[in-house]
Amino acid sequence: MKQLLSLLCLSLPLLLLSGLQAEARSQHHEHLEKLFVFGDSYVDTGNTRIGQPGSWKNPYGITFPGKPAGRFSDGRVLTDYIAKFLGLKSPVPYKFRKFIPQNLKYGMNFAYGGTGVFDTSSKNPNMTIQIDFFKQLIKENVYAASDLSRSVALVSVAGNDYNFYLARNGSLQGFPSFIASVVNQTATNLLRIQSLGVKKIVVGGLQPLGCLPGSTASSSFQKCNSTFNDLVVLHNNLLNQAVTKLNQQTKNQSPFIILDLYESFISVLNQPSTNNIKDELKPCCVGISSEYSCGSVDENNVKKYKVCDDPKSSFFWDLLHPTQAGWQAVYNKLQTTNALQQIRY
Ligand SMILES: *[C@@H]1O[C@H](CO)[C@@H](O)[C@H](O)[C@H]1NC(C)=O
Ligand SMILES: *[C@@H]1O[C@H](CO)[C@@H](O)[C@H](O)[C@H]1NC(C)=O
Ligand SMILES: *[C@@H]1O[C@H](CO)[C@@H](O)[C@H](O)[C@H]1NC(C)=O
Ligand SMILES: *[C@@H]1O[C@H](CO)[C@@H](O)[C@H](O)[C@H]1NC(C)=O
């Protein structure tokens, strides 16, 4: 019985993933690059455990693939768009590596929702441990040096470090020095990914945390928290400095690239109608009261959340994450920048 149950649990994600494969098959390349992904829920495509909040629960995934599939959105997330840009299938989540070995050639996604560079309240592996998983696979020859020489790493991290800091009653006065330590640890992680042989490492500049619905709920989703955004700007400035320094230390190439999520989020939020987005700060899926969140059910499995009529016209899906339409708009914006072009071989 137990075996049957675990078989069932395994085959569900498998079915979902084979749907993803079919979609990307048309973009097959002769000499494939690989995409390796590290960080948090902005890039996780299935690693977070079933049963933890969101991602594997209704109504997550209602737009794509039509049911919960481990993404913290109604549909595709940043990883899927970056993979598409590179002409790759979205890389297989680390958790499923044994079940779809034919997909290892597109790279692997090590990201887990809720995680940071340091430990957060999430029990999922922090970024250091995620890189350890990658290192172990290289040691086991799952990936060879020749694979890594044409590969890209995508990193999204730090938002949870800051939310955790604030949830722990961290002081505003202590925030700048905490930011410095987060950026220092991020830079250490980026160097470590490079030392494993990855040639291009793309790191997301931090999104405007003060504009996420979790921060704007107190103003009925009317205005971004500029205090919080100023701290994010400090983070991004320090990250820019750190990355510039890392690039200067690497002769004849600039392996580290920043994707400016801050500017692309702000730009979309400032001109929502360009992307047919309405009520740009209001999330599509919310708990019916503050004790519930998107995806909450009570002990009788009765829904305790509401979903908007048209997720395509919302930028935000839940209190923290963009909708697929939101990510598509951000991706459109990123395509107008230099950074995305630099990640192509
Ligand atoms: C990452 O997680 C491991 C295991 O919980 C912990 O020992 C380590 O200190 C963490 N790394 C950082 C940089 O916080
Ligand atoms: C933070 O402060 C609030 C209010 O003072 C308190 O209820 C809560 O337990 C504190 N949280 C932590 C993690 O210390
Ligand atoms: C992190 O900070 C330490 C101490 O200031 C410094 O020695 C180290 O070079 C920094 N690491 C990076 C990657 O910037
Ligand atoms: C704005 O964010 C800061 C830092 O997170 C927080 O201390 C402050 O209470 C927030 N202000 C409002 C109005 O929510």
Q: From the CB of 171, is ligand 2 less than 6 Å away? A: no
CB atoms within 10 A of CB 180: 14
Ligand 4 atom nearest to CA at 231: 4
CATH annotation of 31-274+324-343: 3.40.50.1110
SS3 for 259?
strand
How far is the centre of ligand 4, averaged over its atoms, from the C-alpha of 228 (Å)?
Answer: 6
Closest CA to 268 of 344, 342, 338, 336: 336
Q: What is the biggest distance separating any 2 CA atoms in the chain, rounded to whole angstroms? A: 62
Rounded distance between C-alpha atoms, residue 214 and residue 189, angstroms: 28
126 pocket-lining for ligand 1 (C-beta < 6 Å): yes
Per the CB < 8 A criterion, the answer to whether 127 and 191 are in contact is no
Q: Which of 73, 80, 260, 321 is catalytic?
A: 321
Kindly give the confidence (pLDDT) of every residue in the chain, 345 residues in length, as a single tens digit, with 9 standing for 90 and above: 444 444 444 444 444 444 444 444 434 444 579 999 999 999 999 999 877 668 999 999 999 999 999 999 999 999 999 999 999 999 999 999 998 888 899 999 999 999 999 999 898 999 999 999 999 999 999 999 999 999 999 999 999 999 999 999 899 999 999 999 999 999 999 999 999 999 999 999 999 999 999 999 999 999 999 999 999 999 999 999 999 999 999 877 889 999 999 999 999 999 999 999 999 999 999 999 989 999 999 999 999 999 999 999 999 999 999 999 999 999 999 999 999 989 987
Pocket test for ligand 1, best of 117, 118, 182 (most atoms within 8 A of CB): 118
Establish whether 151 is a catalytic residue.
Answer: no
> pTM score, two decimals?
0.90
List residues near ligand 3 (CB under 6 A): 184, 187-188, 191, 242
Measure the CA–CA gap between 120 and 130, rounded to whole angstroms: 14
286 pairs with which residues across the strands?
A: 306
User: Which atom number of ligand 1 is nearest to the Cα of residue 119?
Assistant: 14
Picking from 102, 107, 57, 104, the residue whose alpha carbon sits closest to that of residue 86 is 107
Active site annotation includes 41: yes
Query: For 68-82, b where at least 16 C-beta lie within 10 A, e where not — what string?
Result: bbbbbbbbbbbbbbb
Question: In a 10 Å sphere around its CB, with 0-12 CB exposed, 13-18 middle and 19+ buried, how is residue 192 labelled?
Answer: middle
Phi/psi at 177 (5° precision):
-75, -30
Cis omega (within 30 of 0) for bond into 65: yes
Parse the chain into domains and list their residue ranges: 31-274+324-343
Ligand 2 mean position, distance from CA 214 (Å): 18
Q: How far is the CA of 122 from the CAs of 56, 70, 112, 184, in angstroms?
A: 16, 16, 9, 21
- Name the token pair of 14: 């498998």
Which residue type occupies 174?
Answer: G
From start to end of 95-171, where are the E strands? 107-109, 151-156
**Cβ(169) to ligand 2 under 6 A?**
yes
φ and ψ of 109, to 5 deg: -105, 115
Rounded distance, CA 334 to CA 266, Å? 12
- Name the DSSP letter for residue 164: H
